[in-house]
Structure 1
Amino acid sequence: MKKIYFALAAFLMTAMAFSQGVTTSAISGKITDDAGEPLGGASIVAVHLQTGSTYGAAADFDGFYRISNMRSGGPYQITFSYIGFTDNVKNEIFLTLGRTSTFNVMLSESATALEEVVISASATGVFGASKTGTETTISQREVQTIPAASRSIADFVRLTPQAQVTEGNDGFSISLAGQNNRYNAIYIDGAVNNDVFGLAGSGTNGGQTGVNPLSVDAIETFQINIAPFDVRQSGFSGGSINAISRSGSNSWEGSAYSFVRNESLAGKTPPRLVGDGEEREKLADFSALTYGVRVGGPIVKDKVFFFLNYERQEDETPQPFNFSNYTGRSSQADLQGLSSFLVSSYGYDPGIFDNNTRTLESDRITAKVDWNINQDHKLSLRYGYTTADNLEARNSGNRNIGFINGSELFVSETNSLALELSSRFGNKFSNNFILGYTTVRDDRDPAGDPFPTVDIQDGGGTISFGAEPFSTANLLDQDVLTLTDNFEIYAGRHTVTLGTNLEFAKIKNLFFAFNYGDYTFEDQFDGSGNLVSSGLNQFLTGQDADVYQHGYSLVGTGVVGDESAGASEFDTFQAGFYIQDEVQMNDNFRVTLGARIDIPYWSDGSENDDFNDRTIPLLEAAGKNLQGARVGQGIDPTPMFAPRLGFNWDVNGESKTQVRGGLGVFTSRLPLVWPGGTYNNNGITGGFNFEFGQPFVADVNNQ
């Protein structure tokens, strides 16, 4: 998707682009004497007090200075000095992620002011001089103090007025600025953490299990951007969620924690679920337990630091069922008889049906090392590991009976690595380099032993057992490598940024629905509408199924399930290049002007020569405009151009009244599941049967 903002108006277009996040902060300003004359060569030294990290610069001939690639947060002590003048020291300074804080300083000659000037202040949140678009920044203090019932990023995204968060079986779905959740960008330490395939409602890796990618206790700060007119931030038309993980400091810190929720802490039935004449009731028993530990400290004081967090999540959600509410024809004795028949005739146990419990077990690890190489170079390395085991239990309701061994078992494992090198070269140049590598392994399987899917019409209800039909051959492997580099040139009132963002993705997707076979048995009636044979009787007496479905591989040796041949495998490469000039027009007015171009590339898939040579000419002869498309041909790389213009006006120069806005084009990433269908559905790797009146075959390898 593409998003264009102008003041308060928005216009949406379709497109594709790429992701990158901002991980640091900056300070800038002008240093003058009592008469307002610039003090060229004045020294600026900023010290991050918790780690001893030191950043320094000298003002240019016109008194302007800028220090980029600073660690966000604080507290900082910033000292402004010049020979023959009294130092100006600012304490308790906290810097906002992704923002440049302005400090214009006046120094007094030593002869008239014999003591250093000490000022306690903090970078303003709402009135930042570099702020042009719409954003919400959440500090570590807010992360730790705001009630977070789910312990997920969604708890904090709710603080953004443009956000809508909805909850489903797979966790939370986040919509920003009214856009589909797939059009958001999610970064952790500047590296993309999107579910690039686009199946998870949360938009995060492993999100189909409902697991969170990062422990809340491992978050330093994060930011939600809706329309930042900064060309470095892209890959979204909804919004971006940019999280920075914690780091160690010179102080040893640690904690052990546990969070428990159950039915006694959750109130009664939500009013929206209560029907007319019904009363709210206590919720059914459930348990949500999260516990963990974190520790951080110095390896070498003022030099090398570490942070480590481990978190465990154990959730159980029973789904009790009152059989007296079932509208179907069968009795409990009939269902027990069906279960016994399956065991004795086929050796298959369908499991229980009256209280199928959903479960989620997850382990999360975050490990980070920070190294202050020297005053000009800082290195950070983070490793993240998340594994989840989710049983999405099939449930029973008023109109359906679901046996538990027909449930979905989803196992996900994510490994991520992010390396960041921030460098300064004198007073005029700085560079920020981020390298990220993420592997995601999603394996969705049917619970229980392999068995065909069976649906039986049961009067006003349906009886279901056997494999969950969309889990029989379903796995997804993603390998994503990202590289981002931002080079800044500082020239007085101008800060020029040259940058690139490169993303490589390798995808393997296996999906054959109904791979074990799917059979439907319906009630049989005579011409007068009288029941002749129930669907259950049809199955028990070996009658043919009314409907039969089977998805299968056309290649390989005929093995079924996750070992099936015919998985689609393709590579994508996405390149973004951009330039930006941030101009301090005067002390109160700043303009940002930039542009970026994003170019996608898709590898070719398996060619279907028969379709290309025989069918396409017939379609084109019939007047169909296929625009040169061929089965197996990669998607055309259409460059996307995105100009940006933003401004910030501090009306009275006191950060009390501010006018800001801008104009920009925002292009989101394209969820790979959509074009991925062209690699799966090519007519030569997979087949599908839909038939009537087929005999039931229990052997999944002989469908």
Structure 2
Amino acid sequence: MFGRRICWKLFFCLSVLTGMAAAQVTTGSISGTVKDSGGAVLPGVSIKLTNTDTGVTRVVIADEVGRYNAPQLSLGGYEIAAELPGFQTALRRGVTLTIGREAVVDFALQVGSVAQEVTVNAEAAMVATTNANLSYLVDEKKIRDLPLNGRNYTQLATLQPGVIPILGDLTRTDISAGHGLKMSIGGAQSTQNSFLMDGQDVSDYAGQTPGSAAGTNLGIDAVREFTITTNNYSTEYGLVAGGVMNVVTNSGTNTLHGSGFEFLRNSALDAKNYFDQANKPIPAFKRNQFGGVLGGPIKKDKLFFLGSYEGLRERLGLTYNTPVPNLRAHQGYLPINGVEQFIGVHPGSQPMMNLYPLPNGPDNSDGTGQFINNPIQPSTEDYVLARVDSQLSSKDSLYGRYVFDQANVMRPGQLGIYGTAKYGRDQYFQLAWTRVISTKLINETRAGVNRTFGKFDAAYLKDVPVSQLAVMTGRDLASIWDIVIPSIPTSDGVFIETPRLFTNTVFEFADNLSYVRGSHSLKFGGIFKNYLSNPKSNRNYMGTINFASVQNFMLGTPSQILGQIVESQLSYQQRLFGWFIEDDIKVTPRLSFTIGLRHEFTTAPKERYGRAASMKSLFDGGPTMGQPLFVPPKDNFAPRFGLAWDPFGTGKTSVRAGVGVFHEQLVPTVLRYTYASMPHITKAFTLLGPGTGVLRVDPASVPASAASGLNYESNPSLPARYQWSLNIQREIVSGTTASVAYVGSRSEHLQYNPALNMYTPTCWPSNCTTDNASYFFPAGPGIPRINPRYTTINAHRWDGNAYYHSFQANVTRRFSNGLQYQGSYTWSRNIDTAATSFGTVISLNAGGIQNPFNLQSEKGLSPIDPRHQFTSNATYDLPFAKDSRGFVKALVAGWQSNVIVTVRAGVPFNIPSGYIGTDGLGRSRSGLGAPTPGDRPSLAPGATVSTSGTTAGCAGVAAGQKLGTPSLWFDPCVFVLPPAGTFGNLAKNAVIGPGLANVDFAMKKQFDITERHNLQFRAEVFNVFNHPNFGNMITPIFAGSTGARNGSAGRIIDTATTSRQIQFALRLAF
């Protein structure tokens, strides 16, 4: 015991003294070789590097073979001077350091006096010849100039090879998955990526892209640049197994500088959405974004400041077209079998009926009519960033940065009865101290706090009679209700999660040490994080009443009532420890190796008050309070290796290869979906067929068997990705580089959550008759489940696998002579067996698990697998009237054009069965349990899935209809119901959805007021050609228990991007 304690103390000291904060995460380096004019190496040369923005200098000395290396330099422009007695001083200007750049600047000194200078104004080649990282830079020029809808700079990440945006339903309003733009980087799931700001982890409480409740990332004027690293990154990076987005904020300089701006959009400038009604006006829309940034010196060369503010005010008009009971239904009349009959309205249903608006659109001849409305969704957001940098001495520098981002969104429901209020607040604070101990040894220490908060509440938009609508007795909350056929949702379908709240606070301490010795550049580091998570993950807390039809609604006979007994407020604590070591070895002047090892582990998640627990097995009688949900493994060693070869020794060509192991740590962000499943806390229940006229339930009388269960794998393996890549890069002309790469990975132990505790079978395939061979086939009501104490048991497993292969090509020209451009192409194939992460699919079109007892049968296309993607962007300063004066210059000169082009193949969609059994248990066709998106149909004999041609025709679907259109994307007739008790033979994600093509364009005119002051006018057009990029579609094939085909199957219901929108802006800068 004593020995173990000593080991732990030594490990902790190592973590604290030599932490993780990566030297190259927020800095760059300059290295090279010094020779004389005859090619002989020159040792002892003094290399002075000066940051031209801040005046900060660093001096290093070339070693015995003429090599020098200056790591951990702040970003910006540099002037580099090489001095040695007996030789002329060589001065190199125009070298710009960006995030993680390892610039190579060689010198050839001429004999002469030190007082004599030879000056070269030229940037170093942009080819990476010293490491194998696949990383792409988005510089300040692109961030400022390219058109961005909503000024969300994370959109620019999706222009890089291997980065795929996950475009969800534009109307999604829940907070469980966070607010930021979801993306797959290098084939990874969106939850597997890391998002850093100045080296600090700023991922949100969902472990995904940071973003406000308004769905954007403000503060673009305070962002200097960022990189996207997609494969084989350094051991300096940890926590995740996917890609890394690394943002660096601006700092003050010796020159006072700033800007103020206003961006304006409104519906008068927009085109109609494809699904908007032709005879109706465009829904109202007004958006204002405004703010400014100011930075400069407090004390020249010593102390600098920068502050930024941005505000957003938006009023967005929504379009809803929803069936509601018509006037005759309000009066108690309903068509039954084509004959209108009086059935009245049950007293329990009357308060709900009174809240329905009357139709104002077409009558549906089934007791309903369409209600069309355009309610307003208001959004507000305020973003503040403050940063101070201090050069304490020639050896010490310190900076501090604070970000505050707060947003509110009120989304009205379809019928104007209920609404959902979404609120978010993010705060990031960081301090960092860098100490130059010697010319060979540098230490950097960081400390920070990341606090993200999201809240989701209900709102009454009408005078709701709460006492009459409270299905849960003793709870002063109005319940919601839904009618299944036709679909009449009361509240956008996400109201059942209210009130829901997520708070995640991460305290982070890290330190790193960089040491240069000869041909070795060593990095050592460690990290400590303390996670405090306080989630309230409710579901059906207010009570939800489901009616199968309008007739059932009027008769007061709900099919089910769902509820939750108590709120699921928990408080988790978890700690993470990690360390790394890496050696960049200059084997020869043209060959470099990178060898590294990383090790991280977390403690078991601990609920502070002992209120959480997990069933230890499917047969467990009940969880034991206070026990950890799971115990993460600790032997998580991740070796990585890379090589970079400059075959010609010119610095203009490189061949790079890398391979490595990357782990995803099981921190509290992966737990946020599961709290409402804990039966001992929430006792969430479902009562099927509670009886005619019963519109209330007593929570105290809920039987134990009505509770759902939660079962974690007790000792899970850590999710891991094995990555490899081969990349060839070439500077084809000065300032323009081209690269091609093969990038691959294999993932294992991915997270997914099957629903277990099925009904017990009456026979197995081994003893059933030939005609009735099935996995699960209960014969009628009253059939017990595997564990009769519970209904569904939500299990959490780490057994999923994924396989990714891609070809990636990229051409980039850095900005010079008024022109920059980039073009990227990715061909990829992404296959997996699990596409969910703790209950939430990584893409809205992903399906669940069909057979949880045979995960390998789920192997198929990933929902994040667009086979092709091409993106390009360009900025061009129009060369008109540059030397003109007066009126001509004011009108014609100073124009700039910017464009972004995106073309992407469609992503796979899953096709669920949609069938509901008739045995009173509400089971799926396979009989495993309640209908889920996992149950799939079968393909008819000889049929294939197609999105081209015409329909063959079948019951409910006319023959000859054109496929691949918004009204019918695929042919529902090729699918059939499998035999009862069996699984369908259709592969998952079998239908490829619509592709995407989009062009955004901007024109900018700059008016030079004085030498340092200018006024910019911008006009930006998003989706220039108003091309409809179709999004989600109705995929269930069968409707209800009749086996009839769903008449809406294959119909596209929304667009993945907006229609054409125009934005104007003014910006004053100095």
Q: What's the TM-score once normalised by structure 2's chain length?
A: 0.54
Q: Which amino acid aligns with 2:507?
A: L
Contact 2:613 2:628 in 1 (8 A): no
Distance 1:66 1:679 in 2: 51
Distance 1:677 1:99 in 2: 39
Task: Give the deviation of 1:281 after TM superposition.
Answer: 9.7
Task: Give the deviation of 1:661 after TM superposition.
Answer: 1.5
**Aligned partner of 2:538 among 492, 508, 512:** 512
Q: Which residue in 2 is equivalent to 1:38? A: 41
Per-residue CA deviation, residues 648-688 of structure 1 (Å, 9 max, x unaligned), is 11222222221112111122344635445666544322212
Task: Give the deviation of 1:609 after TM superposition.
Answer: 11
Distance 1:343 1:460 in 2: 17
Q: Which residue in 2 is equivalent to 1:636? A: 632
Q: Which residue in 2 is equivalent to 1:320? A: 319
Distance 1:702 1:441 in 2: 35
Contact 1:378 1:423 in 2 (8 A): yes
Q: Which amino acid aligns with 2:244?
A: S
Q: Which residue in 2 is equivalent to 1:27? A: 30
Distance 2:600 2:327 in 1: 62
Q: Which amino acid aligns with 1:445?
A: D
RMSD: 3.8
Contact 1:516 1:701 in 2 (8 A): no
**Aligned partner of 2:440 among 428, 452, 456:** 428
Alignment map for 1:124-135 (pairs within 5 Å): 124-125=125-126, 127-135=127-135
| Local SS of the residue matching 2:679 | coil
Distance 2:21 2:263 in 1: 33
Q: Which residue in 1 is equivalent to 2:64? A: 61
Q: Which amino acid aligns with 1:649?
A: W
Distance 1:497 1:280 in 2: 66
Q: Which residue in 1 is equivalent to 2:377? A: 358
Q: Which residue in 1 is equivalent to 2:80? A: 78
Contact 2:205 2:452 in 1 (8 A): no
Q: Which amino acid aligns with 1:123?
A: A
Contact 1:516 1:550 in 2 (8 A): yes
Tell me: CA distance 1:689–1:61, structure 2 relative to 1, closer, same or farther (3 Å).
Answer: same
Distance 1:231 1:609 in 2: 35
Q: Between the two proteins, what is the percent identity of the paired residues?
A: 22
Distance 1:503 1:314 in 2: 36
Tell me: CA distance 1:646–1:328, structure 2 relative to 1, closer, same or farther (3 Å).
Answer: same
Structure 2 residue 386 is matched with structure 1 residue 385: no
Q: Which residue in 1 is equivalent to 2:1027? A: none
Task: Give the deviation of 1:522 after TM superposition.
Answer: 4.5
Tell me: CA distance 1:331–1:66, structure 2 relative to 1, closer, same or farther (3 Å).
Answer: farther
Alignment map for 1:301-450 (pairs within 5 Å): 301-321=300-320, 326-331=322-327, 334=330, 354-395=373-414, 402-403=415-416, 405-448=417-460
Contact 1:342 1:350 in 2 (8 A): no
Q: Which residue in 1 is equivalent to 2:292? A: 293
Contact 1:95 1:122 in 2 (8 A): no
Structure 2 residue 133 is matched with structure 1 residue 121: no
Segments ≥4 residues shifted beyond 6 Å: 18-21, 278-282, 341-346, 348-353, 606-612, 698-703
**Aligned partner of 1:217 among 210, 215, 221:** 221
Distance 2:538 2:557 in 1: 24
Q: Which residue in 2 is equivalent to 1:187? A: 196
Per-residue CA deviation, residues 364-400 of structure 1 (Å, 9 max, x unaligned), is 00100011112222211100000010223323xxxxx
**Aligned partner of 1:487 among 508, 513, 517:** 513
Task: Give the deviation of 1:237 after TM superposition.
Answer: 2.8
Tell me: CA distance 1:207–1:640, structure 2 relative to 1, closer, same or farther (3 Å).
Answer: farther
Structure 2 residue 242 is matched with structure 1 residue 238: yes
Structure 2 residue 106 is matched with structure 1 residue 93: no
Per-residue CA deviation, residues 336-368 of structure 1 (Å, 9 max, x unaligned), is xx9xx999979x988997222223211100100
Tell me: CA distance 1:343–1:633, structure 2 relative to 1, closer, same or farther (3 Å).
Answer: closer
Tell me: CA distance 1:435–1:545, structure 2 relative to 1, closer, same or farther (3 Å).
Answer: same
Q: Which residue in 1 is equivalent to 2:184? A: 175
Q: Which residue in 1 is equivalent to 2:603? A: 601
| Local SS of the residue matching 1:552 | coil
| Local SS of the residue matching 1:462 | coil
Structure 2: 5+ residue stretches without partners: 1-19, 171-178, 332-343, 359-370, 465-475, 703-1070
Tell me: CA distance 1:243–1:85, structure 2 relative to 1, closer, same or farther (3 Å).
Answer: same
| Local SS of the residue matching 1:223 | strand
| Local SS of the residue matching 1:142 | helix
Contact 1:269 1:282 in 2 (8 A): no
Task: Give the deviation of 1:544 after TM superposition.
Answer: 5.8
Q: Which residue in 1 is equivalent to 2:1065? A: none
- Tell me whether 631-640 or 171-180 shows the greater mean CA deviation: 631-640
| Local SS of the residue matching 2:534 | strand
- Tell me whether 648-657 or 229-238 shows the greater mean CA deviation: 229-238
Structure 1: 5+ residue stretches without partners: 1-17, 396-401, 525-532, 554-563, 621-625
Contact 1:435 1:484 in 2 (8 A): yes
Task: Give the deviation of 1:38 after TM superposition.
Answer: 3.4
| Local SS of the residue matching 1:418 | strand
Q: Which amino acid aligns with 2:565?
A: Y
Contact 2:213 2:423 in 1 (8 A): no
Task: Give the deviation of 1:87 after TM superposition.
Answer: 0.7
- Tell me whether 650-659 or 573-582 shows the greater mean CA deviation: 650-659
| Local SS of the residue matching 1:130 | coil
Task: Give the deviation of 1:634 after TM superposition.
Answer: 4.0
Tell me: CA distance 1:174–1:287, structure 2 relative to 1, closer, same or farther (3 Å).
Answer: farther
Q: Which residue in 1 is equivalent to 2:112? A: 110
Distance 1:139 1:316 in 2: 32
**Aligned partner of 2:647 among 620, 644, 651:** 651
Aligned length in residues: 628
Distance 2:375 2:249 in 1: 37
Distance 1:417 1:608 in 2: 31
- Tell me whether 326-335 or 242-251 shows the greater mean CA deviation: 326-335
Structure 2 residue 156 is matched with structure 1 residue 144: no
Distance 1:244 1:150 in 2: 20
Task: Give the deviation of 1:463 after TM superposition.
Answer: 5.2
Distance 1:332 1:292 in 2: 54
Tell me: CA distance 1:461–1:440, structure 2 relative to 1, closer, same or farther (3 Å).
Answer: closer
Q: Which residue in 2 is equivalent to 1:262? A: 266
Task: Give the deviation of 1:501 after TM superposition.
Answer: 2.2
Contact 1:631 1:678 in 2 (8 A): no
Q: Which residue in 1 is equivalent to 2:1008? A: none
Q: What's the TM-score once normalised by structure 1's chain length?
A: 0.81
Distance 2:612 2:526 in 1: 38
Distance 1:493 1:436 in 2: 34
Structure 2 residue 664 is matched with structure 1 residue 668: yes
Q: Which amino acid aligns with 1:516?
A: M
Distance 2:506 2:103 in 1: 33
Task: Give the deviation of 1:464 after TM superposition.
Answer: 1.7
Per-residue CA deviation, residues 27-51 of structure 1 (Å, 9 max, x unaligned), is 1122233344433332111111121
- Tell me whether 159-168 or 663-672 shows the greater mean CA deviation: 663-672
Distance 1:394 1:34 in 2: 76
Contact 1:567 1:680 in 2 (8 A): no
| Local SS of the residue matching 1:157 | helix
- Tell me whether 666-675 or 693-702 shows the greater mean CA deviation: 693-702
Contact 1:46 1:78 in 2 (8 A): yes
